[in-house]
Structure 1
Amino acid sequence: MRGSYQVIDGGYLDIDLAVIYSRTQKKIVEHFRQEEGNFEFDAAEAGRYKVCFGNKLSTSAAKKVQFSIHAGRVDELLENEATEGLADKLVLSLGRRVSDLKEQEEYLRRRSERHQRTTESTSSRVLLSSLCEAFILVAVNLWQIYYLRRFFEVKRIL
C-alpha cells in the first residue's frame, strides 16, 4: 500500500499522519507535523487499515488536505513468473507509470497553486507597507517644513 498527502490550505500547513491496522490498533506508519509526504508499506496481514490525519497542535485552524492512496500488487505481478507474457508485463508497467505521472502532475499543480497564493499574499503586504511608508514619509516632510519655518521666523519683541 502506498500513498501521498499534502496540506493545501489552513494554519501553518502542517499535519500528523498515522496508518493503523484496525484489528490490533498497531501504528504502521507515523509522521508528525509534515506539510507533505509519502508513505509505503507492505500489508503483513489481511484486513482494514485506517489512514488518520491529525490536527492536534492547531485546533483553531481548519486544514484542507489532498491525498491519494493506492493499494495493489502491481510490483508483485511484474516480478511474478506466472505473468509470462511480455505484453502483460508491459501493460502493468505502463499502467503503474501512468498512475505515478498523473499523481505527480496533480501534486505539482497543487503546489503551484499554493505558491501562487503565497506570492499574491506577499505582494499585497508589500503594497500595503509601501503605501504606509509613503504616507509616513510625506507626514515627516510636512512636519519638517513646518518646524523649519517656525525656527527661522523673525520674532520682533517690542
Structure 2
Amino acid sequence: MLFSFVASLLCLFASVWGSALTFTLGAQETSCFYIFTTKPRTSISYYFAVQSGGAFDVDYTIKNPRDEVIVSEDKQRQGDFVFTADLVGEYEFCFANDMSTFAEKVVDFEIKFESEEGMDFKADMPDQPNSKPIAHVESMQSTVDSIDSQLDGLLRTLQYYKTRNNRNQATVKSTESRIYYFSIFEVLLMVGMAALQITIVQLFFKGSRKQLV
C-alpha cells in the first residue's frame, strides 16, 4: 500500500514531461520533430548532441505555430537550452545535414516541457480539517522535485560523457586509419626508391661497359 501510494504521488507530482530519442541523419537530409503546447508561456527545454559522423555538427531550426523562426544555428555540435513558448500550438524542431555530401550523423535529442497536470494538482486537492497531511504532501513534493532535479543533472552529465566518449573513439579510429594508410604509403615509397636506385645503378654499369668496349 505504501509503495503504491508513493508511486501515485510521483506520477501526480511530475510537472515535466519529456521525450528522448537517438536518430540517424543522412547526408543532405533534414529531420523534423514536433511538440504541442496547450497553454501559453510554457517552458520548453531541449538537448541535442551529435554522437558520430563527419565533423560532429548539424544545423538546427526551431519554429513556432505561426511558422516564425525562433532559433536558427549552423554547424552546432551540441546544445542544452531553454526557451518560453508564448503561443499555444505546435512547435517544430528541424535538424539539417546539408553540409555533408556523404557522411551521416547520429544525433541524441531530448525535449522537455511543463505539463498542466502537475501544475494543477495542488489546487485539486480536497480540503481537510487538519493541515498536517497537506504539509506532508508538500514536503514530499519538494523532495520529489529535488530528486528530479538531481536525476536530470546526472542524466545531463552521463549524456555529456557519452558524447565525449563517442567523439574520442571517432578521433582514435580516424588517427589509426591515417597511420595505417601513411604506413602503406611509406612502404610503397621505400620500395619505389629502392627500385629507382637499382635502375640507376644498372644504367650506370651499362654505360661503363659500353665505354670499355
User: How would you bin the TM-score normalised by the shorter chain?
Assistant: 0.7 to 0.9
> How far 1:123 sits from its partner (Å)?
0.7
More deviation, 55-64/34-43? 55-64
Q: Percent identity?
A: 29
Which whole-Å CA distance do the structure 1 matches of 2:98 and 2:204 have between them? 62
With the length of structure 2 as denominator, give the TM-score of the two structures: 0.58
Which whole-Å CA distance do the structure 1 matches of 2:170 and 2:176 have between them? 10
Give structure 1 regions of 4+ aligned residues with deviation exceeding 4 angstroms: none
| Match in the other structure for 1:19 | 62
> How far 1:60 sits from its partner (Å)?
5.2
Relative contact order (alpha carbons < 8 A, sep ≥ 6): 1 or 2 greater? Answer: 2
| Match in the other structure for 2:88 | 46
**Structural RMSD (CA):** 2.8
Matched, 1:32 2:85: no
Change (3 A) 1:65 1:144: same
With the length of structure 1 as denominator, give the TM-score of the two structures: 0.75
More deviation, 4-13/126-135? 4-13
Aligned residues: 149
Which whole-Å CA distance do the structure 1 matches of 2:201 and 2:100 have between them? 54
| Counterpart residue type for residue 83 of structure 2 | F
Which whole-Å CA distance do the structure 1 matches of 2:203 and 2:75 have between them? 61
| Match in the other structure for 1:66 | 108
| Match in the other structure for 1:107 | 160
> Is the Cα contact below 8 Å between 2:58 and 2:96 reproduced in 1?
yes
> Is the Cα contact below 8 Å between 2:52 and 2:166 reproduced in 1?
no
- Which ranges in structure 1 are unaligned for 5 or more consecutive residues? 78-82
| Match in the other structure for 1:133 | 186
Change (3 A) 1:66 1:132: same
